[in-house]
Amino acid sequence: MKEKFYKYIEALQNTITSQLEKTDGKAVFREDIWKRAEGGGGRTRVIENGAVFEKGGVNISAVHGALPKSMQAYFGVAEADFFACGLSLVLHPVNPMVPTVHANWRYFEMYDKKGKVVDQWFGGGQDLTPYYLFDEDVRHFHAVCKKACDAHHPDFYDSYKRKCDEYFWNSHREEARGVGGLFFDYCKPTDNMGMEDWYQFVTEVGDSFLESYIPIVKKRKGMKYESIHKEWQEIRRGRYVEFNLVHDKGTLFGLKTNGRIESILMSLPPTVQWKYNHHPEDNSEEFRLLQVLKHPKDWTGE
């Protein structure tokens, strides 16, 4: 399974970066191939200063070796070896009318001292972080997510949408990072879903990513904006940074397993503001966004 899934994310990285370059029309991805001393490595691709994307990355990695003691405690296991691979992407647009997007699809195995697989699971998801709220864009994003989920189980979308709202929650701000999407983790064999079934589900979600995001980018990338809109974008980017550095488990795992720091922090936006005690004007577009972030809503039942 690990070889099969790694081949999949290699191909998906090529597909996504190719399409993003076409959408941007100016910048191209810079590629770094890196090795991890303890075992494994990855292929990082970063785009910067484009016509559409101010900064973004589409990274794949496959790392393996002894599970660090800090992660042994986290998983509640004794000494063990592990393998982890995945694709992770974050795109920060130039135009504040275009939302930031994040996605990740991953696979994990754990082994005993004899090298036997004792645990394995899939995880992943995708979520949208707008700066200005266009309801039709959010409904489109969620509709694509739901379509991918419904092909595998009628309860998947509602369950993973709820988990996404719960996970991407800045508890110290009492607000969501964005307008959600999907989040699933520890997808293990059950009576109804074997690992091959989970593979089919995760890859369907991955294959649907471009359909969920690119139409929104094309619709909004040419909209006019002013410095006040850019300022709000940078303030909200600060909330994005706070989540990634304070709460995100993927960032923690990368740091605890001696991952490549440039690839781990690729998700951080290039320009950010933290204004002291900033509050938007009542009934403004900025205020309307905050009300939705404080009270996550159903985007497919409207």
103-131 per-position pLDDT tens digit: 999 999 999 888 888 899 999 999 999 99
pLDDT band at 234 (very low <50, low <70, confident <90, very high): very high
Side chain identity, residue 20 = L
Give 197's pLDDT tier (boundaries 50, 70, 90): very high
Tell me the mean pLDDT in the region 164-188: 96
> Which tokens sit at 47?
């785009």
CATH of 2-294, one of 3.40.1500.10, 4.10.93.10, 3.40.50.10490, 3.30.70.100: 3.40.1500.10
pLDDT of residue 132: 98
| pLDDT over 60 at 302, yes or no | no
DSSP code for 77 = -
pLDDT, residue 259, reads 73
Catalytic residue list: 102
Average pLDDT, the chain: 94
Considering the entire predicted model, what is its pTM?
0.94
Task: Summarize pLDDT for 266-279 with one digit per residue, the tens.
Answer: 889 999 999 999 99
pLDDT score at 217 = 98
Which segments of the chain are extended strands (E)? Answer: 30-35, 40-48, 53-66, 81-93, 100-111, 117-129, 169-170, 175-176, 181-187
